[in-house]
Amino acid sequence: MKTAKLLKIMKFFSWLAFIGLLIKSGAILFTYVLSIGNAEFSKNLYEGLNLFEYRNYSFVQYSFIILYKVGLFAVEAYIAYLVIQLLQKLNLKQPFNIDVHQLMKRISYSIFYLWILAIVHNAHVQFLAKRYNFEMVLFSSDFVFLSVIIFIFAQIVKRGIDIQSENELTI
C-alpha cells in the first residue's frame, strides 16, 4: 500500500519533470529564434542563461551550443517520459515483465547518450571559454554510473522474468 502510494507520488513528480524540461528546451529554442534577429535576447535565454559573448563571437558556434543545450534538455525530458511509462507499466503483483525490462534498458541507454552529449557540450564550451575568456555554463556529467546501475537492474529484471514465468508454469 505504501509502495503504491510512493509510486503515484513519483509518477506525479515525473510528469512535473517531463513538462518542466519540455518548457525549458522549448523556451531556449524560442529565445534562440528571437536572438537571430536581435542579439540582446541571447543575454537571457532562459533563467539567466547568458550566451551573449558566444553570439557576438560566432553565430555558428552559438547555434551549436544552443543545439547541445536543447538536445540535453530534450533527452532529459525523454528520460522523464520513459520513467512515467515505467511507472505506468509497473505492476506490483507481477513486477517482472518484458515492458519493464525494455523501458529500463531504454532509460539506461538514454542516460548514456545524455552523458556523451554532456561531455561533447562541456568540451566545446570549455574550449571556447578558455580561449576567449568567456563565461562557462557547463552541464553536470556525473551520471554515467547511473546508466550502468540501471542497465544492471534491467538484466536483473530479465532474470526475474525467467523465474516468474517458470513459477507460473509450475503446476
Partner 1 sequence: MAIIVNLDVMLAKRKIKSKDLAEIINITSANLSVLKSGKAKAIRFSTLEAICKALNCQPSDILEYVND
List interacting residues with partner 1 (CB under 8 A). 165-166, 169-171
d(CA 125, CA 127): 5
Nearer to partner 1, 140 or 170 (CB): 170
| Residues 104 and 153: beta-carbon distance below 8 Å | yes
Work out how close the CB of 6 gets to partner 1 at its nearest, in angstroms, rounded to a whole number. Answer: 33
Q: How far is the CB of 161 from partner 1 (least distance, A)?
A: 13
Give the shortest CB-165-to-partner 1 separation in angstroms: 8
Nearer to partner 1, 99 or 162 (CB): 162
Residue number, 133 or 170, with CB nearest to partner 1:
170
- Rounded distance between C-alpha atoms, residue 122 and residue 143, angstroms: 14
Q: What residue has cell string 552523458?
A: 115
Q: How far is the CB of 166 from partner 1 (least distance, A)?
A: 5
Q: Is 44 helix (H, G, I), strand (E, B) or coil?
A: coil
Nearer to partner 1, 56 or 94 (CB): 94
Contact criterion met (CB below 8 Å) for 153 and 107: no
CB of 143 closer than 8 Å to CB of 111: yes
CB 33 within 8 A of CB 121: no
